[in-house]
Amino acid sequence: MPEFTLWPRFQRLRAHATDPVRPCNAGAVRDDTCVAGRVRRGRARGHAMKALVFAAGLGERMRPLTDTTPKPLLVAGGKPLIVWHLERLAGAGVREVVVNTSWLADRFAPALGDGSRWGLRIRYAHEGAPPLETGGGMLHALPLLGDAPFIAVNGDIWTDFDFVRLPSAPTGEAHLVLVDNPPHNPAGDFALTGSRVDGDGDSRLTFAGIGVYRPSLLADWRRVIGDAPGAGADPPRFKLAPLLRAAMANGRVSGERHAGAWTDVGTPERLATLDSTLSEAGAAR
């Protein structure tokens, strides 16, 4: 069994390798999303959500591939991992995306530009070195994300998850997408009971690296993080998980299980397998 999970079977993956599209034209309604000259119909939202793509990691387990290319720009199925996200975010009605960068930060703008090819506005939040971890990176990006709830997604995953399914605002501080545990994470991360996510429990699933967050999740970060390494740096460097667990303890995190395709592209072998699967699916269409 490969060290990642792709659900469900190959036939369904073929159906999700690209979003259903139709040509853009003058009759495209305002709830449609133009993506590279095509339009995908998405649900209307009260306001267009912003999104954060975590892209600052060092990619140490992916070397030597990441010696010259940041992990989110590695190619699978003919396009960089981050581009799969940008297309799906645009298809869900997102208009502004913040990409946080650190390792090989200068590679992103030439590859992605300003996002206009996907109908997006991309802004870059450069963290310097070392990366600020997920919590510090989110805190650093907040001035660009604003005061409203936003989507955040790890730039080094691949999934067929449809971002349209996400709530425009979590009922609590966060709403997380979870998946069945892959071989490399058999114990899972969090427990899902109904729509409630807890730090512990019998039915533990793996965090997919996709969520909707309120900025208020970070309001009390100094008390929650304490004197953890990096917390006293300027800018501060800390993980998001302790903040999520603190919110879970107060019943403030909801979630859902995604039963479709998902992989954490954490090794060159997983990337090669994903690339082969996506390329084969594309050739079979």
Least confident range from 60-64, 156-160, 170-174, 281-285: namely 281-285
Local confidence band at 285 (pLDDT 50, 70, 90 cut-offs): low
Domain membership flag for residue 26: yes
Average pLDDT for residues 169-194, to the nearest whole number? 95
Of 33-37, 59-63, 220-224, the least confident: 33-37
Q: Answer with the residue of higher pLDDT: 2 or 200.
A: 200
pLDDT for residue 51: 98
| 96 pLDDT above the threshold of 70 | yes
What CATH number does residue 275 fall under? 3.90.550.10
Instruction: Give the pLDDT score at 144.
Output: 96
Contact in structure between 206 and 279 (CB atoms under 8 Å): no
For residue 106, what pLDDT is reported?
Answer: 92
Write the secondary structure of the chain as one string of H (helix), E (strand) and C (coil): CCCCCCCCCHHHHHHHCCCCCEECCCCCCCCEEEECCEEEECCCCCCCCEEEEECCCCCHHHCCHHHCCCHHHCEECCEEHHHHHHHHHHHCCCCEEEEEECCCHHHHHHHHCCCHHHCCEEEEEECCCCCCHHHHHHHHHHHHHCCCCEEEEECCEEECCCHHHCCCCCCCCEEEEEECCCCCCCCCCEEEECCEEECCCCCEEEEEEEEEECHHHHCCHHHHHCCCCCCCCCCCCCCCHHHHHHHHHCCCEEEEECCCCEEECCCHHHHHHHHHHHHHHHHHC
Token reading at 76? 């699978």
What gap in Å lies between CA 8 and CA 197, rounded to an integer?
A: 24
Does the residue 22 lie in any domain?
yes
pLDDT at 24 over 50: no
Residue 41 lies inside a defined structural domain of this protein: yes
pLDDT the model gives residue 281 = 78
The answer as to whether 207 is a domain residue is: yes
Task: Work out how many domains the chain is built from and give that number.
Answer: 1
> Tens of pLDDT along 154-164?
999 999 999 99
Residue 159 is assigned to a structural domain of this protein: yes
Q: Percent of the chain scored above 70 by pLDDT?
A: 82
At residue 35, the pLDDT reads 37
Q: For helices 241-249 and 133-145, give the axis angle rounded to 10 degrees.
A: 80
Provide the pLDDT confidence category of residue 213 given band limits of 50, 70 and 90. very high
Is there a domain that residue 225 lies in? yes
Q: Residue 42 region, left (φ>0) first, then alpha (ψ -120 to 50), else beta?
A: beta
Checking if the pLDDT of 27 tops 90, the result is no
The string of pLDDT tens digits covering residues 133-144 is 999 999 999 999
Phi-psi region of 28 (alpha: psi -120 to 50; beta: other; left: phi over 0): beta
**5 falls within a domain:** no
Structural domain harbouring 48: 10-284
Alpha-carbon distance of 190 to 208, in angstroms, equals 11
Question: Is residue 87 predicted with pLDDT exceeding 70?
Answer: yes
Q: Which two tokens stand for residue 122?
A: 């991309």
Task: Categorize the per-residue pLDDT at 20 as very low, low, confident or very high, splitting at 50, 70 and 90.
Answer: very low
pLDDT of 2 over the 60 cut? no
Domain assignment present for residue 271? The answer is yes
The pLDDT of 38-44, averaged and rounded, is: 40
